[in-house]
């Protein structure tokens, strides 16, 4: 799978660990930054990830920050993006099953790195169940 990834300074450390894991899993990963832990404005890195996913250059996107909230908000401003904020396995799975999330937002300050890695793996493996929401999501995207 082609995956875009990005973070601000508060998510940098986990981004690097997750990126390495994704590559080990065989995914094609592009890092949109930031590239160190110096204070950075998250929209500068999150918006390009979201745009790349929305444009179809990547199948999924993963963004990280301190809490993940600002990153999810920024990503969801891009048409065609459904970015789920996950702080545990259940919220990650539901974002895929029920919302067909094409992006995942994580907060480095909200969980241990092992938990973040589990969340990413589960999120990537979880299919969209569709159901009655499938056509509605497709119609909204086409508008």
Active site residues: 71, 98
Which tokens belong to 7?
């973070």
CB 85 within 8 A of CB 72: yes
CA dist 98 and 106 (Å) reads: 18
**Residue-wise DSSP of 63-131:** EEESSSHHHHHHHHTSTT--EEE-SSHHHHHHHHHTT--SEEEEEGGGS-HHHHHHHHHHHHHPPP--G
The residue behind tokens 């929209």 is 43
């Amino acid at each position: 799978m082609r995956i875009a990834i990005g973070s601000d300074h508060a998510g940098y450390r986990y981004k690097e660990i997750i990126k390495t894991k994704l590559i080990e899993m065989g995914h094609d990963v592009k890092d949109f930054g930031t590239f160190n832990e110096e204070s950075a404005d998250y929209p500068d890195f999150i918006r390009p990830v979201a745009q790349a996913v929305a444009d179809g250059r990547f199948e999924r996107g993963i963004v990280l920050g301190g809490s993940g909230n600002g990153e999810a908000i920024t990503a969801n401003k891009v048409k065609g993006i459904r970015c789920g904020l996950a702080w545990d396995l259940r919220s990650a799975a539901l974002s895929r099953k029920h919302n067909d999330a094409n992006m995942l937002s994580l907060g480095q300050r909200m969980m241990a790195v092992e938990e973040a890695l589990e969340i990413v793996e589960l999120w990537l493996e979880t299919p969209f169940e569709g159901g009655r929401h499938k056509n509605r999501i497709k119609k909204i995207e086409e508008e």
